[in-house]
Structure 1
């Protein structure tokens, strides 16, 4: 594995998880089977999975100077993820949190997210990074109340400038994730990166009904030479490159479904890891589906470190 880093840019939050026997009825009272805190956020999860798979991984985001930040720092450190370029905001800011209900019957997760006032990463924050130290930078598509999506557009343009002065072998790869269907402003990211991850929900919101239909539609909006990748839950994943080559993978469900939280983040990270290792697009999404399937059979992502993937 190369010594160059892979960086994930986006959200880190604290997940407060309650595992229930079944999904609770409204205005009811019941004991939970388990309760725990864990690190959450798409970019935070993906950076952790990349590290667990063997990459030199870094997370870039914002921290609030509170007790939750200390929990996040310890968790990142325990998984070998660097946070050396993150910015910390002092008094008056709060760490984003998610209250999560996991249904033990089917592994489903219901998320109630709260993000009050913590600023997102800015272009100025991003420019402090020496891009020559990285092989891949992945962006979680994140508009917010104080930093619109075009800030990510500017960061990707900054990377393009960096790449333009280097040979093809020295250029760093970029990817973006478009997940939330209620964020039409994410559309402007479609043609800004080398790899575009679109979610099932994002695709369905555009009227697309399958993973194959999704990648065929979105590749037309991507930049020249780019590839688009779409995971479709139990139906596996599909990808298409700019030459129109379609590849697909089935899903690899665990023997017992335990926890689907962060399955999508795991798929993205594992696919990026395989591409960094020189795998083909088809091999990469198959590896992504295998790792995501294994993740659904364990609580959290930490146990992925002990699983051997072919």
Structure 2
């Protein structure tokens, strides 16, 4: 089995500040952290740990499809060194005329706990023809394709191509940003949908349960719908059985929130691991509880290292 994750890959610079700076304010940061980011790369970083740490007999090949600057650029070399050999990058799209990666500058306010993100990206996005060549090279191979939900019109064409040419593959989609039109159309075509709290609230839903129940009538191809809701935890629905499960957010005696960046990506990694590597071994309640555990452990620490311990 192979999992192919398609999404943007960023290099993040994270500044921790006493409060969010006002306009024209000079402010000293208490900490700086630089790391590779992006929804799908974050999910793969966690997944590779779970696969390596787990005892499941299922073998899972991990592949990243992202647009990167020139292969020889320092950024691409850094990203490649961080992933290979556990995550294959030979299907990434390299823009040889450019050297700057997609970048995020993140301000973490200690006063409010909020994070403010400024993105920079001059890399031309993947087009449908590029994806078709990648999909043909990969073949069906009992594959699972996971889409960030980025550039919905392109992603929708990519999903239609997979449905026509490789009908046996499974497709999951992230529905995250409420200001991004076209995500509802992607949800209608997917087997598994991951909804964010901000998308649900931005579309008028007042709870994870309401979002999932109402979305289930709009997503006829989906077998599983998931919605995360911060400290409340997450809700999942198996459409075949209409079984709706709520699991509270992970907590522990000494638990405290340290770093929420990538919590949703970690949840997705936990659920994808459960679906691909544990299949019938765990029921839906166990899968959801595990995904919450992975996300909770992520929130309780800086970065993504050591999240394979969720399986202990």
Q: Shorter-chain-normalised TM-score: which range?
A: 0.7 to 0.9
Inter-partner Cα distance in structure 1 for 2:101 and 2:250: 34
Aligned to 1:62: 67
Aligned to 1:167: none
Which deviates the most, 195-204 or 251-260?
Answer: 251-260
Aligned to 1:128: 136
RMSD, matched Cα: 2.1
Which deviates the most, 279-288 or 121-130?
Answer: 121-130
Inter-partner Cα distance in structure 2 for 1:217 and 1:249: 19
User: Does the 8 Å CA contact 2:208/2:234 hold for their aligned counterparts?
Assistant: yes
Aligned to 1:290: 293
Is the aligned partner of 1:263 residue 2:263? yes
User: Does the 8 Å CA contact 2:171/2:191 hold for their aligned counterparts?
Assistant: yes
**Any gaps of 5 or more consecutive residues in structure 2?**
52-59
Aligned to 1:108: 114
Inter-partner Cα distance in structure 1 for 2:142 and 2:33: 34
Aligned to 2:92: 86
Aligned to 2:311: 309
Is the aligned partner of 1:72 residue 2:75? no
Q: CA deviation at 1:43?
A: 1.0
SS of residue matched to 2:296: helix
Is the aligned partner of 1:232 residue 2:229? yes
**Any gaps of 5 or more consecutive residues in structure 1?**
144-148, 165-170
User: Does the 8 Å CA contact 1:87/1:125 hold for their aligned counterparts?
Assistant: no
Equivalent residue for 2:185, pick from 184, 188, 213: 188
Residues 269 and 121 of structure 1: CA distance in aligned 2, closer, same or farther (over 3 Å):
farther
SS of residue matched to 1:288: helix
Aligned length: 294
SS of residue matched to 1:133: coil
Q: CA deviation at 1:92?
A: 4.0
Inter-partner Cα distance in structure 2 for 1:256 and 1:112: 26
Q: CA deviation at 1:155?
A: 2.2
Aligned to 1:198: 195
Equivalent residue for 1:208, pick from 205, 209, 224: 205
